[in-house]
Structure formats: structure tokens, C-alpha cells
Amino acid sequence: MELRRILEFLSSAQRRTLAQLNTPAAMSFAPIIRPTGCLKFVFRQARQQRAVQRSLATAATTQTGNKSISERQRASHEKVGKFEIYPQVPSIRSTHPDPMPILRQQQLAQLDPTGIRTRLFSKDQADSAKVGDVLMVTTQGGEPFSGAFIQIRRRGVDTAILLRGQMMKTGVEMWFKIYSPSVTGIDIIWRRPKRARRARLTYMRQPKHDMGSVDSLVSAWKKERYALRSKSKQTGGKKVPA
């Protein structure tokens, strides 16, 4: 009854059109147009045609672009594919440590082979020269200069000391590099009884704290030194009894 109602709605022209067209719609209506002998056969054929319709698929069309662009892109891809990323070059700081300490040691070994000057102004040595002491520096081309040890500037081989003395009742300050080849000797004339609390005794430039002339200390040191030398010569010439 339902099939007859569907066929009634379709006109004769529509039936002929659906029967002539070789489309999935016409194929699905073909069993309806046929004489309805068996309703079960009609539904079975409709299900089979629907399954065949689902399995069919249209071929995908590929759109080909410009050949020049594709070749250019292919060349760029090949170039990038051959590109290699090399590891980062190690920095010179990691491969070569700071060369300055080794250079300073070599220069100190050349300028001060015995290490006397280094020990004389070392912070670790108890008998080293401290600020406030009176020092006398002997050079090759001039007379010895004596004065109060005011300041030290530690710069490796360029380490220098500042001495303040008095010449013709005028305060004079001079810098001396302790590792300079022109400096032949540095002697401690007088030691300060109490250690100074400051590293720079620049306040000694004031008239209130100025030591003035240190010639008396230098002359006393020379007399003591000559006495020790003469005594050592006398004891060295005598025979020690067995």
C-alpha cells in the first residue's frame, strides 16, 4: 500500500526520467517502478544498491601549481636538507685560562729571583715592612733616599712604595718600584713601635703628624750596622779554641 501511494505521487514523466537516468537516485527508485511482485525483494535490492553507493568515492583532483615555484621550493628544501649545524666553538676562556698570573710569576722570577723583595713587603710575613716604618732606598744613578713609609700600591711587577722625607726643611715624597732593576737595595731603618691602623698614612703630610727629617735615624742605623760589621770581622779573624 505504501509503494502504491509513492507511485501515485510520481507522474509518468518522472517515472520515465528516473528509469532512464543511470544515477544512484534512479537506481534506488528502479525497484519501485518495477511491478511489485515481492516486497521483500524490493527492500533487499534497495539495501544492496545503497551499500554499493556508499562504497563508491569520487577521485580526488590534484591542483598543480606553477612549476617554477615548485622547483624553487624543491631546490630550497634540498639546500636546507644538506645544511649542517656544527657544535659551538669553545670560548678562549674555557680552553685557555687567564694567562696573567703565569706571566706575573715569570716576570717576578726574572726581576726578583731570590724573592727577597716579595717577602719584604708580603702581608703574610711578620717581619715585613709596614706603613709607618722608615725605609731607605738605594738606586743606581743617585743618592739613597730615606723617609717614612706612607703607602704601598700593589700592582704585581709594578708594585711601588711611597716614601716621605725632608730635604732642606721641605717635605718631599717619592715613589719607588720595588722590582725595578734601578733599585739596588731597600733597607728598614726604623720600625714603628705600634702598628698603624690605616693602610695609607696620608695624614702625615700635615704639620701636626709630619715626622720631619729622618737623618738622625739613618745615622744611628749606619753606626749600628758598622759596629756589627766590625765585630763580625774581629770574631771571624780569631781562632776559636778547641
**For the chain, what are the domain ranges?**
106-232
> What is the tally of helices (H) and strands (E) in the chain?
9, 5
The architecture in CATH of the region 106-232 reads Roll (2.30)
Alpha helices in the chain (DSSP H): 2-9, 12-20, 24-33, 39-55, 67-82, 92-95, 100-111, 116-120, 215-237
CA distance 46 to 24: 11
What's residue 33's pLDDT? 53
Structure confidence by residue, pLDDT tens digits, 167-208 = 888 999 999 999 999 999 999 999 999 988 898 999 999 999
Which residue shows C-alpha cell 750596622?
A: 225
What's residue 240's pLDDT? 42
What's residue 26's pLDDT? 47
What's residue 69's pLDDT? 63
At 206, give phi and psi (nearest 5°): -75, 145
- Using a cut of 0.85, tell me whether the model's pTM lies above it: no
The DSSP bridge pattern shows strands 160-167 and 170-177 to be antiparallel
Q: Is 7 exposed, middle or buried (0-12, 13-18, 19+ CB in 10 A)?
A: middle
pLDDT tens across the length of the chain (242 residues): 555 555 555 555 455 554 554 455 445 555 555 554 566 776 777 777 766 655 556 666 666 555 556 778 888 888 777 777 788 888 877 877 888 888 889 999 999 999 999 999 999 998 999 999 999 999 998 899 999 999 999 998 999 999 999 988 899 999 999 999 999 999 999 999 998 889 899 999 999 999 889 999 999 999 998 988 888 877 765 544 43
CA distance 127 to 200: 19
Residue 173 neighbours by CB distance under 10 Å: 15
Q: Decide: 149 and 130 in contact? Cβ < 8 Å.
A: yes
